[in-house]
Amino acid sequence: MATDERWYDDAVFYAVDVEAFADGNGDGVGDFPGLIDRLDHLDALGVDCVWLLPFYPSPNRDNGYDVADYYGVDDRHGTLGDFVAFVRAADRLGIRVLVDLVVNHTSDQHPWFRRAREDPDSPYRDYYVWVDDPPEWPDPDRGPVFPGEEDTVWSYDEAAEAFYYHRFYHFQPDLNVANPDVRAEIRNVMDFWLRLGVDGFRVDAATLMIDNKGGLESTRLDDPHGVIRDLRRFVARRGDDAVLLAEADDEPDRLADYFGDGDECNVLLNFLLDAYLVAALAERRADPLRRVLDLLPAIPEEGQWANFLRNYDELNLGRLPTADREAVFEAFAPDEAMGIYGRGIRRRLAPMLGDRDRIELAYSLLFSLPGAPLLVYGDEIGMGEDLSLPGRDAVRTPMQWADEPNGGFSPADADDLVRPVIAGGGYGYEAVNVADQREDPDSLLRWFGRLIRTRHACPAIGTGACEVLDVDDPAVFAHRIAGDDGAVVAVHNLDDSPTAVSIALDGDPTVAFGRDGASVRPADDATDGSERARAWRFDLDGYGYCWVRPD
Ligand code: GLC
């Protein structure tokens, strides 16, 4: 494997839920053999790094985020040997692999928890957080993460005769990372997967992992970020150029802390940008994007953002100002069934936007913003959601490979599938699938291939300095990113009416990417006074976009 410590600056990340991706053995559940067979799809698309959602042995009551054994592959997904074969096959294609590190909590079926609850003297007791009497007034900042599905963070355990702490579901007891033995266990887990060849970890619930759990003195860490620094040191030592990509959906003024001085997380999922980007799309104006670029902290040179539009959880709008949040709900989740937890939306992006031109606009914008882009399986063909499924399962339906039974996901009986494949209507597998889009040069899939190739050809976006440009039309977001490898200017029209804006550029721009019809030509009002800068007129269709290299 090529050693390039900063590979993540320009990586296109792609999240795969193994159970919903491809079923290789015909039992209705996705598995590693199925995923190996489909690696050609990721290769053709231009994906650099696959992030695997949890595939570990699990009662699977939270999509595998309830881990019962950190050192294995759930039987439903294959064997550890299949996993190694997958890592090898991905490596041959130059695709890196990140695995989910879910160590804020375990499943209540994990042997540590079983022993902890059965024996007060077990060394595993202090792996978790126990109280005899939960506080009468729960800390408002430490409530259940899934309101409506859980109403407490303290559940009583009959065997232990005590209450245990869980920020997520009651079957996910929180680990006590203030206990050095727990931190040693986490290092062992990381070591195991690094030795099997992974390129790093997506650190689940990093914010909660280092929190003062339950507000108790016994779980308070003197240096919470020291936990992440230790993980990073360990990964750097054992894992060559392996990285930590963290889920830290925290207050804007705390985000920079997760990068430390370049000695904590390498990459952070950019939840803040996501919410404001969706607000800009909903409001059809650039202003929310300008605001979020001001809100996002400066990050150390070693750090990077992973920018995304949707993931496989809810689209969390909780950090938006009320007016923006309401605008998003009104535009994209008009029915109550589309919302979740009072703060989010359980839909995929394609049906939220509804219009092919607007989908292109959204992803073109995403890929042009400072950071590295992340897609979730199915984004590349514009998959929809199934609102008849409970909660977040709506956006976790099986990958649609072809206009074949079960969308080509599995040869099993439809009743035996892990979740139903979306069928019929505008988003069913008959209308939206990989095989058909691969053949069609005008398909969204082929468009994504071009977008990814363009992003790879513009490394300035990953590391350059970003400047928002002033334009006359409030619906247009224009920015310039300049790096060692040149500059990119990108112009995006968030509204559906055609427009033209004028921007001063050094040199003669060449179009790097854009919808047919986007054009750039010298504006009539020639110069802005400086020697070389000259005004250029960008003509854009409704939802039009255009990236140029200014010189
Ligand atoms: C993260 C995951 C989510 C899961 C939760 C609990 O937020 O993204 O899917 O439910 O952690 O592990």
pLDDT digits (tens, 9 = 90+) for 394-452: 999 999 999 999 999 999 999 999 999 999 999 999 999 999 999 999 999 999 999 99
Q: 205 alpha carbon to ligand 1 midpoint, in Å?
A: 7
User: Residue 155's beta-bridge partner residues?
Assistant: 164
pLDDT of residue 1: 35
- pLDDT < 70 stretches in the chain: 1-3, 525-532
Contact between residue 258 and residue 246 where contact means Cβ atoms under 8 Å apart: yes
62 lines ligand 1 (CB under 6 A): yes
Identify residue 421 by its one-letter amino acid code.
V
The three-class DSSP label of residue 293 is helix
Residue-level pLDDT at 5: 83
Note the pLDDT of residue 2. 40
How far apart are the C-alpha atoms of 354 and 135, rounded to whole Å? 47
Q: In the prediction, which pLDDT does 532 show?
A: 61
In the chain, the amino acid numbered 47 is: V
Q: Whose CA is nearest to atom 4 of ligand 1?
A: 65
Give the position, in ligand 1's atom list, of the atom nearest the Cα of 392.
Answer: 9
How many Cβ atoms sit within 10 Å of the Cβ of residue 316?
Answer: 18
Angstrom CA distances, 418 to 14, 75, 323, stand at 21, 14, 38
Per-residue pLDDT at 526: 54
Does 205 sit in the ligand 1 pocket, CB within 6 Å?
A: yes
Catalytic positions, written as ranges: 204, 247
Strands 476-483 and 486-493: antiparallel
Residue nearest to atom 12 of ligand 1 (CA): 65
Does the Cβ of 100 fall within 6 Å of ligand 1? no
Is the distance from the beta carbon of residue 102 to the nearest atom of ligand 1 less than 6 Å?
Answer: yes
Most ligand 1 atoms within 8 A of CB, residue of 63, 105, 168, 170 to mutate: 168
User: Looking at 91-226, which runs of residues are DSSP E strands?
Assistant: 96-101, 130-131, 154-157, 162-165, 200-203
Which ligand 1 atom sits nearest the alpha carbon of residue 313?
9
Contact 411, 405 (CB under 8 A): yes
pTM: 0.97
pLDDT, one tens digit per residue, over 67-101 is: 999 999 999 999 999 999 999 999 999 999 999 99
Rounded distance, CA 372 to CA 262, Å? 17
352 is written with which tokens? 């939220």
Distance between first and last Cα of the chain: 34
Q: Which atom of ligand 1 is nearest to the CA of 168?
A: 6
